[in-house]
Amino acid sequence: MNRKTAWQISFHASAELHNGGPGAHRAMTTVARSSRYRRQSDTGLSRMEIMEGAALCFEAHGYSATSIDEVAARIGSTKGRVYHHYASKAELFLDVYRTGMTMIFEAIEPYLEAELPAVDRLRSVLKAHVLCVIRTKPFQNVVSQGVDMLRHGTMPAKEHAELAHLARLRDAYSDHFLTVLEQARAEGAIDYRNIKIALNSVFMCINGPIVWFTPRDNQSLEDIDLLAEECVLYAIRLLGVTDERPARTHPRPTHEGATA
């Protein structure tokens, strides 16, 4: 149970911390914890570990059906630890939400300014989006829930500040796609009627894996890549493109300057 293949998230054991804050540059490798209690400087790692557990729980039963005790149990801990890092369940949720947004933002960013025809840029961005969605599925699921909660005006409230900020982030993300769509149409490469409906349909397609994707332990990175490629293909076709060449993405934007 709870198996995890290599390409899936396990950010508390990786070098990528999206929260900034102290401890963000630590622990390149997972060190077996010596003591029961963690060092002060690792608070960033601790928060990320909590968020991963929370994301998995939220994904499984949704926000309100998830108890803090369950989140704690999932990472072999207790309430105390969670409430030491987060003031409330809502704050934890919002942090997962924001982190998920940051992840996918950073995933597509390298491809937004490429010197390519708009359609090809679109292809690249969509591909990057889908790959990120698959890798960080629990987080993106929480993002979906968050968007839904905004839409329905639900939400524990009280943290309207962070909420509004996240809403603006979401809009900014969406706007990037709107822009590329308009450019691609101007270049005569794609076609749609109502751009909002078109964009929504594209999003439904490329976010599909959030709902229907189930990791199989025998599938390789290439399998995942093919799967993502197919999602992109359908999303692009939907816009009236008949040309079938694959998306152009770098193997993986590498942050480490280390030599292989």
**Which listed option, DNA, a copy of itself, none, makes contact with residue 34 (CB within 5 to 8 Å by class)?**
DNA
Using rule CB under 8 A, residue 1 touches a copy of itself = no
Beta strands in the chain (DSSP E): none
Using the contact rule CB under 7 A, the part of the chain among 71-79, 109-117, 203-211, 229-237 near DNA is 71-79
Relative orientation angle of helices 43-61 and 137-151, to the nearest 10 degrees = 70
CA pseudo-torsion sign 18, 19, 21, 24: negative
Answer for which of 2, 6, 20, 37 binds DNA (CB under 7 A) is 37
Return the amino acid letter for 96. V
Report residue 162 as tokens: 């962070």
Using CB under 7 A as the binding rule, whether residue 19 contacts DNA is answered as no
Contacts of residues 148-154 at CB distance under 8 Å and 24 or more positions apart, as own/partner, are 149/63
Instruction: For residue 217, give the DSSP letter.
Output: T
Whole-number Å distance between alpha carbons of 219 and 230: 15
**To the nearest whole angstrom, how small is the minimum distance from the Cβ of residue 196 to a copy of itself?**
8
**Nearest to a copy of itself of 30, 219 (CB atom):** 219
Written as one letter, the residue type at 69 is D
- DSSP letter string, 80-114: HHHHHH-SSHHHHHHHHHHHHHHHHHHHHHHHHT-
Answer yes or no whether residue 205 interacts with a copy of itself by CB under 8 A. yes
- In angstroms, give the least distance from the CB of 28 to a copy of itself: 34
Which one of a copy of itself, DNA, none is in contact with 29 (Cβ closer than 5 to 8 A by kind)?
Answer: none
In the complex with a copy of itself, the residue whose CB is nearer, 112 or 227, is 227
Closest distance to DNA from the beta carbon of 183 (Å): 44
Which 3-state string (H, E, C) describes 144-183? HHHHHHHHCCCCCCCCHHHHHHHHHHHHHHHHHHHHHHHH
Of the candidates 242, 255, 257, 258, which one interacts with a copy of itself according to CB under 8 A? 242
Q: Which is nearer to DNA, 153 or 188 (CB)?
A: 153
Binds DNA by CB under 7 A, chosen from 2, 29, 40, 254: 40
At residue 102's C-alpha, the angle toward residues 97 and 107, to 5°, is 130
> 5 is written with which tokens?
């293949």
Q: How far is CA 231 from the centre of its chain?
A: 16
Size of the site for DNA (CB under 7 A): 28
Say which entry of a copy of itself, DNA, none residue 242 contacts (CB below 5 to 8 A, set by partner kind).
Answer: a copy of itself
The residues of the shown chain that bind DNA, judged by CB under 7 A, are: 34-43, 46, 66-69, 72, 77-81, 83-84, 87-90, 156
